[in-house]
């Protein structure tokens, strides 16, 4: 039977989760935004092939950076996903399943990502050889997954846009969706889930580096495909929005100002800053020699 109230142990857990999301979010400001700066502002995704990575992974500090990013992005993202799923599953068996499944996915992907970082040899990357070299089907499979992620994102955005336009044309108020804080919350949730989905595919993709750098380069080249460009822009926009809105939440909570601040102004400021920071990466992407 569905329960309507939480036990004390669950309240302690949710407080821990609340603090963890804020502390890991603050660390990800450096790690995730630093990673995006390297892959989307200093260069473009299609040019981050095995030669590019070999240059970075000769430096142990970049390996440590990537390992911290792996650990925190996975634990933060999957803890967030767990909270979202538990919002809709109130019964004990469902909640237990969600906890077990997200923890299991986290451990498996953390092991895969760590193995990639530990086994990648910059010399082999430069030579473009690995135990699975030549297995083109692997590259096709992973590029296929990227196209699938893009298609899911486009369909989701398209359905949302059609719904908004239809409601506006009918002159209907957007139901209970009248406050800036509600839109900020929904966008934070959507962007968080989108980044988690991409991250899981991305970790599998990066696994190809030590296994078959030649096949990896084939997958990375797919990033130049016009069908994937809007997804790359949307991904940077999603990370920027989620990070800036995360800062907004952390700051107003730390200052205990949630009830007093003008949510509408802050939300517009976050949107404006997201657009301003996104613009240079779009220019870099569109002007790149793909
Ligand atoms: C870049 C720096 C980041 C910051 C500052 C940040 C901040 C936050 C904060 C403060 C929350 C809690 C929101 C709340 O309690 O209502 C949160 C939730 C979440 N974050 Fe992040 N985050 C960052 C990066 C990421 C990344 C890289 C991912 C995905 C791998 C991610 C996925 C999520 C998810 C799925 C949630 C749950 C959303 C919800 O409950 O509606 N975040 N983030
Ligand atoms: C299209 C967008 C992206 C591109 C082209 C890209 C590119 C790369 C590249 C080339 C590497 C290899 C190591 C390096 O050079 O640092 C890497 C590793 C990594 N990236 Fe990204 N990245 C993208 C988006 C993201 C996002 C949004 C996240 C999540 C916050 C992320 C998290 C990671 C992690 C955790 C690793 C280490 C993976 C492992 O150890 O298996 N990346 N990425």
SS (H, E, C) 47-90: HCCHHHHHHHHCCHHHHHHHHHHHHHHHHHHHHHHHHHHHHHCC
Q: Which atom of ligand 2 is nearest to the CA of 206?
A: 41
Is the predicted pLDDT of residue 4 greater than 60, yes or no?
Answer: no
- The two three-digit tokens of residue 248, written as one number: 């907004």
Q: Say which ligand is closest to the CA of 58.
A: 2
**For residue range 73-126, what is the model confidence (pLDDT) as tens digits?**
999 999 999 999 999 887 888 889 999 999 999 999 999 999 999 999 999 999
5 exposure class (CB count in 10 Å sphere: 0-12, 13-18, 19+):
exposed
Q: How far is CA 61 from CA 19, 57, 66, 125, in A?
A: 28, 8, 9, 18
Give the tokens for residue 113: 């990502």
Neighbours of 176 (CB within 10 A): 7
CA of 77 to the centre of ligand 1 (A): 6
Q: pLDDT category, 261, cuts 50, 70, 90?
A: confident
pLDDT in tens, 144-165: 988 998 999 999 999 989 988 8
CA distances from 266 to 21, 47, 85, 249 (A): 20, 36, 27, 10
Does the beta carbon of 77 lie inside 6 Å of ligand 2? no
The pLDDT-based confidence of 1 (bands split at 50, 70, 90) is: very low
In terms of residues, how long is the chain? 290
Q: How far is the CA of 263 from the centre of ligand 2 (A)?
A: 33
Q: Identify which ligand lies nearest to the alpha carbon of 194.
A: 1
Q: How far is the CA of 166 from the centre of ligand 1 (A)?
A: 30
Mean pLDDT of 11-40: 93
pLDDT beyond 80 at 61: yes
Predicted pLDDT at 163: 87
Query: Which pair of tokens denotes residue 287?
Result: 């002007």
pTM, whole model, 2 decimals?
Answer: 0.92
Task: Find out whether the beta carbon of 234 lies less than 6 Å from any atom of ligand 2.
Answer: no
Domain limits, the chain: 8-287
Residue pair 35/72 in contact by the 8 Å Cβ criterion:
no
pLDDT of residue 164: 84
State in Å: Cα 199 to ligand 2 middle: 8
- Residue 173 has what pLDDT? 65
Mean pLDDT in residue range 258-279: 90
**254 or 72: which leads in pLDDT:** 72
Terminal C-alpha separation, the chain: 57
Residue-wise pLDDT for 133-144, tens only, equals 999 899 899 899
What is the average per-residue pLDDT within 224-248?
A: 96
CA angle centred on 115, ends 112 and 117, rounded to 5°: 115
CA–CA separation, 50 vs 147, rounded Å? 21
Per-residue pLDDT band for 274 (boundaries 50, 70, 90) equals: very high
pLDDT of residue 43: 96
Residue 113 Cβ contacting ligand 2 at under 6 Å: yes
Position 52 scores a pLDDT of 96
Q: Round the average pLDDT of the chain to a whole number and report it.
A: 91
Which residues line the pocket of ligand 1, CB cutoff 6 A?
21-22, 25, 28-29, 32-33, 73, 76-77, 80-81, 83-84, 188-189, 192-193, 195-196, 199, 242-243, 246-247, 249-250
């Amino acid at each position: 039977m569905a329960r309507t109230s939480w036990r004390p142990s669950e309240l302690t857990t949710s407080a821990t989760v609340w603090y963890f999301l804020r502390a890991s979010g603050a660390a990800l400001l450096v790690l995730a935004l630093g990673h995006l700066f390297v892959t989307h502002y200093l260069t473009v995704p299609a040019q981050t092939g095995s030669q590019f990575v070999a240059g970075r992974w000769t430096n142990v500090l970049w390996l440590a950076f990537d390992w911290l990013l792996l650990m925190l992005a996975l634990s933060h993202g999957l803890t967030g996903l767990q909270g979202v799923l538990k919002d809709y599953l109130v019964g004990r068996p469902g909640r237990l399943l969600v906890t077990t499944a997200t923890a299991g996915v986290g451990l498996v992907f953390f092991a895969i990502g760590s193995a990639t970082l530990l086994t990648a040899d910059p010399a082999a990357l430069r030579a473009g050889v690995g135990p699975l070299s030549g297995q083109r089907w692997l590259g096709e499979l992973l590029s296929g997954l990227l196209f699938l992620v893009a298609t899911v994102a486009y369909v989701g955005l398209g359905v949302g846009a059609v719904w908004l336009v239809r409601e506006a044309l009918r002159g209907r108020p957007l139901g209970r969706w009248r406050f800036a804080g509600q839109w900020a919350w929904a966008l934070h949730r959507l962007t968080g889930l989108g980044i988690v989905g991409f991250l899981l595919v991305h970790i599998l993709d990066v696994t190809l580096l030590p296994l078959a750098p030649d096949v990896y380069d084939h997958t990375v080249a797919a990033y130049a495909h016009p069908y994937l460009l809007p997804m790359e822009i949307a991904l940077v926009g999603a990370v920027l929005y989620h990070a800036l809105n995360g800062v907004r939440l952390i700051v107003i909570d730390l200052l205990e100002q949630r009830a007093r601040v003008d949510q509408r102004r802050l939300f517009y400021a976050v949107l404006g800053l997201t657009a301003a920071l996104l613009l240079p990466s779009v220019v870099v992407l569109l002007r790149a020699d793909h």
